[in-house]
């Protein structure tokens, strides 16, 4: 994943940069993304080798003139503190001084075709599909400035759930669509159409771009800036059959009471972005709202919960 904000500033600058290289577990990807965004650090990438199931490398590019040694230490301490909340310890980081390298392209060098589940292949948009994956459904992806390359365990859990139980002919809502990867996976798995929303305008742009890369028209992958209210205002008379919500637990809880506004009879909700130790908390939140748990899946420290409304 790469965030490309302030790209024009980087391409025209002539001074030196600091490049931070930090190995991180996949469990921290979501949280690191939000930390960097909140710190208004926009030149970074997560580089993932599909053969490495545990760690990836976070690269951050910083203007050397703007970052003192004290500031650098403070940034590292932020990552150390973040890791401690997950009971994790980070290995030592590496600082390099670099000159005017094209940070917006470097991350592409290590991103490889990535098989997910039994039949999905996430393919970097600039690569051709290897012959050994010719039988898989290809999702061409360039995440650009949005979260979601498919490497994070929470995203993989969602894609695998769609792969195991394809939403053939169903209308799907993707809340917090990011790069649009789950919407694309749903359509590749036979969904009739998707209604995809995000509160980040960069995510909307990325989703539209990736829809075009996969030849999905606007009436198949419908994208709106906003949240559930935009789905409710724009969905067809027939309600949503499946809600995908791969967001952090506190956000899911804020959205949960509104799910009933868009879900149809016997509709299902797939929640991800959850830590294993948050499963009980989410169950206790949704059951009193009239939902029952159909299935729980886990991968490493991450969890997926599938819900449906209790029939009266």
pLDDT on residue 62: 87
Instruction: State how far the Cα of 252 lies from the Cα of 298, in Å rounded to an integer.
Output: 17
Same-domain status, 131 and 21: no
Lowest-confidence segment of 55-64, 105-114, 126-135, 198-207 by average pLDDT: 105-114
Residue 268 in this model has a pLDDT that exceeds 60: yes
- Per residue in 194-235, pLDDT (tens digit) is 999 999 888 898 899 999 999 999 899 999 999 999 999 999
Residue 102 in this model has a pLDDT that exceeds 60: no
pTM: 0.75
Residue 71's SS3 state is helix
- Per residue in 167-204, pLDDT (tens digit) is 999 999 999 998 899 999 999 999 999 999 999 888 89
Same-domain status, 100 and 118: no
Same-domain status, 155 and 251: yes
Among the three residues 93, 109, 125, which one is the final residue of a domain in this structure? 109
Residue 101 makes CB contacts below 8 A (sequence gap 6+) with 17, 19
Instruction: State how far the Cα of 213 lies from the Cα of 201, in Å rounded to an integer.
Output: 19
- Per residue in 19-33, pLDDT (tens digit) is 899 999 877 887 887
Same-domain status, 57 and 119: no
Q: Smallest Cα–Cα separation from 123: which of 131, 50, 115?
A: 115
Same-domain status, 93 and 136: no
Q: Smallest Cα–Cα separation from 155: which of 34, 272, 279?
A: 272
Same-domain status, 44 and 185: no
Angle at 24 between CA 22 and CA 26, to 5 degrees: 150
pLDDT on residue 146: 55
Strands 55-63 and 44-47, by their bridges, are antiparallel
| More reliable by pLDDT, 73 or 56 | 73
**Exposure class string for 204-227: b at 16+ Cβ within 10 A, else e:** bbbbbbbbebbebeeeebbbbeeb
Q: Is 282 left (phi over 0), alpha (psi -120 to 50) or beta?
A: alpha
Counted domains in the chain: 2
pLDDT on residue 104: 54
Same-domain status, 36 and 122: no
Among the three residues 109, 126, 141, which one is the final residue of a domain in this structure? 109
| More reliable by pLDDT, 86 or 24 | 24
Instruction: State how far the Cα of 163 lies from the Cα of 230, in Å rounded to an integer.
Output: 27
Same-domain status, 81 and 206: no
Same-domain status, 93 and 155: no
Same-domain status, 163 and 49: no
* Residue keyed to tokens 């829809």: 211
Domain CATH for 179: 3.40.50.150
Among the three residues 82, 109, 136, which one is the final residue of a domain in this structure? 109
User: What is the domain extent for residue 125?
Assistant: 114-309
- pLDDT, mean of residues 122-136: 92
pLDDT on residue 137: 96
Contact 245, 175 (CB under 8 A): yes
Lowest-confidence segment of 36-40, 117-121, 241-245, 304-308 by average pLDDT: 36-40
Same-domain status, 184 and 238: yes
Within 85-152, residue ranges assigned H as helices are 103-106
CA distance between the termini of the chain: 44
Same-domain status, 276 and 152: yes
Domain CATH for 48: 3.30.70.120
């Amino acid at each position: 994943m790469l965030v490309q904000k302030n790209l024009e500033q980087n391409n025209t600058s002539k001074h030196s940069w600091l490049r931070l290289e930090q190995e991180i577990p996949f469990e921290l990807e979501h949280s690191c993304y939000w930390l960097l965004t909140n710190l208004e650090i926009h030149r970074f990438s997560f580089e993932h080798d599909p053969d490495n199931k545990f760690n990836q490398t976070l690269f951050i590019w910083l203007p050397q003139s703007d970052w003192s040694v004290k500031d650098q230490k403070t940034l590292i301490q932020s990552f150390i503190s973040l890791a401690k909340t997950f009971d994790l310890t980070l290995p030592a980081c590496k600082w390099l001084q670099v000159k005017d390298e094209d940070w917006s392209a470097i991350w592409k060098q290590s991103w490889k075709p990535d098989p997910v589940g039994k039949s999905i292949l996430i393919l970097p948009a600039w690569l051709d599909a290897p012959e050994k994956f010719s039988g898989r459904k290809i999702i061409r992806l360039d995440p650009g400035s949005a979260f979601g390359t498919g490497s994070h365990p929470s995203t993989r859990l969602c894609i695998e759930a769609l792969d195991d139980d394809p939403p053939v002919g169903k209308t799907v809502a993707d809340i917090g669509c990011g790069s649009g990867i789950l919407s694309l996976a749903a359509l590749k798995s036979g969904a009739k159409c998707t209604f995809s929303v995000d509160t980040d305008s960069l995510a909307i742009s990325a989703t539209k771009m990736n829809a075009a890369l996969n030849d999905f028209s606007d009436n198949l992958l419908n994208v709106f800036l906003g949240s559930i209210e935009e789905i409710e205002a724009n969905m067809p008379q027939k309600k949503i059959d499946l809600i995908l919500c791969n967001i952090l637990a506190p956000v899911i809880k804020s959205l949960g009471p509104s799910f009933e506004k868009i879900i149809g009879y016997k509709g299902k909700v797939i929640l991800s972005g959850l830590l294993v130790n948050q499963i009980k908390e989410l169950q206790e939140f949704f059951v009193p709202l009239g939902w029952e748990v159909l299935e729980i899946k886990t991968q490493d420290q991450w969890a997926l919960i599938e819900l449906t409304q209790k029939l009266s």
